[in-house]
Amino acid sequence: MHLRIAPGDLTETVVDAVVNAANSSLLGGGGVDGAIHRRGGPDILDECRHLRETTLPEGLPAGEAVATTAGQLPARWVIHAVGPVHSTREDRSPTLASCYREALRVAGEIGARSVAFPAISAGVYGWPMDDAARIAVETVRDVASRQPTEASGVEEVVFVPFGADAESAFREHLSD
């Protein structure tokens, strides 16, 4: 599994699957979630609504991931992952790491060979960017070390930081 960085807009990233920083409702929101639904069009929300009406009546718990169509996006799938809201009282790092692990598991299941991630939880959910980038890179590297049993078939992971601070945080951890 090859890891690389491509700063910019996740919705324009040309990969098989883009990972959405969703919320548990799966019914859209701001940030990258808003951008994906805006640019991807209504087919994504239609599939999310169908998931809520069938297999996910309670919504998608934090740390978990589920795939839908990517609608009009260049990607073929959106893998929705729900990040934890940052807390100073409890360490939710395992839940944030689970977003990356589960998204890559789902990617392996659907046959995605390339996957692009935003900095999950590092926006509205308040996670400090440097730590969010560290967890992202460490977790993806750990999954890569366990291939082919985990995320088999995923050949490339692209980190798509948004903004200069995010980019330098990811570049720093990718060079570790």
Residues that bind ligand APR (CB under 6 A): 9-11, 21-23, 29-35, 83, 118-125, 160, 162-163, 166
Task: Indicate the residue among 22 and 146 with the shorter CB distance to ligand APR.
Answer: 22
Strand partners, 78: 18, 68
At its nearest, how many Å lie between ligand APR and the CB of residue 36?
8
33 catalytic residue (yes or no)? yes
- Nearer of residues 98 and 121 to ligand APR, judged by Cβ: 121
The residue nearest ligand APR at its CB is: 29
User: Minimum Å distance from CB 82 to ligand APR?
Assistant: 8
Long-range contact list for 33-36, CB < 8 A, 24+ apart?
A: 35/9, 35/10, 35/11, 36/10, 36/11, 36/73, 36/78
- CB-CB contact of 122 with 63 (8 Å): no
Catalytic position from the list 33, 46, 130, 142: 33
Nearer to ligand APR, 67 or 122 (CB): 122
| Cα–Cα dist 158/169, whole Å | 14
State the nearest-atom distance from the C-beta of 118 to ligand APR, in Å: 4
Taking the complex as a whole, how short is the minimal distance between the CB of residue 40 and ligand APR, in angstroms? 11
Nearer to ligand APR, 34 or 42 (CB): 34
Catalytic sites, residue numbers:
33
